Every structure is written in C-alpha cells, then in structure tokens.
Structure 1
Amino acid sequence: MSSDLVARLRESKSSLSNDSDSLNQVADAIQLLEAKVERYENALEMIRDQTFEHSNSPRLIDQLWHFVRWTKSVARDALEATNTREKKGSGSNRK
C-alpha cells in the first residue's frame, strides 16, 4: 500500500531541487518506518509463540497442579476449623 505512495513520491519531480530532496527524504522515512514495523511485528510473533510454548510446559503444569492441591487443602482446613468451632459453640449452649 505505502510502497505505491513511495513510488509516486519518488517519481513526482518538481522544478525545485529542494522539493525533490524533501520528497526523497519523505520516501526514505516511510521505507524506514515500514522496515521497523515489520521487524516489530516479527518480534511480537516470536514473543507470542514463546509464551504459548511456555504456557504448555510440564513445569508450569506441575506448578499449577500444586497450587490447586494447596488451595483445596487450605479450603478443607478452613471448613474443618469452622465445623469444630461450631460444634464447640453448640455444645456449650446446651448446658
């Protein structure tokens, strides 16, 4: 898309050399920006692919399962502690 614009800028020559130089500078700047954008897009794709690979790593999966087991254990302990407090509280109320 912008390569057409760059070609038109380079082809349109005016009688003043300053305008011609300005047009060439603009065309060069556009090409430089396009190259940078392409490089950044490629880098982002690599980062995205690496993130996906890391998200499927066995170590991460093991860590997640450990976290799930730990969370269940903490929840179980909290429920048991609540139940024992309720039993103690209801036993003293019966007296």
Structure 2
Amino acid sequence: MSNKLVTRLRNKDPVSQDDENVTKKEAANEIERLEEELDRLRGALEQIGDQAFEHTNSTRLTDQLWHFVRWAKSVAREALESSGSAQGVKGKNE
C-alpha cells in the first residue's frame, strides 16, 4: 500500500466515493498479498521445523552456535540501545 493510502486510512481523512472504492480495493489487494506472503513464510517455517538436526554432539558446532548467540545478543542490545536513545532525543525535541 502506498504511504499516502496508509496515512489517509490512519487519519480517517474524508474521501470521495470514488477514492473510497479505490482505497478499499487497494487495501483488499494488500491484505491478499500479505496473506499469501504469510502462508509462504509459514510453509517455510514448517519445512525448517521438519528438518532433522544431525550434528547434535559436535563440540565445534556447539562452540560456533554459542559464539553466534553471544554475537546476536550483542548486536540486538546495541540496536535497541541506539534506537532507544534516538527515540529519547526525538521525544525531547517534539
């Protein structure tokens, strides 16, 4: 959906009957597209969940996984902290 459409829908701006019909059609098309995307992603997750993990006793693999987990937590923490500080600055300026 276009940003203009989203803004109009959120603001509940008055629109003509023709615009309302177009807006409803665009919204319906976007909902249909999102439902198809959701179905595709659910199917992919089911396929991933059905895969057997064969290397459960590999020490090297376990070490690599823990390294990845620590790295992912660090990246997530930094992203949250930086977005939090950006939100704080934005909130103070408004």
TM-score category by the smaller chain?
A: 0.3 to 0.5
State the TM-score, normalized to the length of structure 2.
0.42
**Greater relative CO (CA pairs within 8 A, separation 6+):** 2
Structure ranking higher in helix proportion: 1
Larger Rg over CA atoms: 1
State the TM-score, normalized to the length of structure 1.
0.41
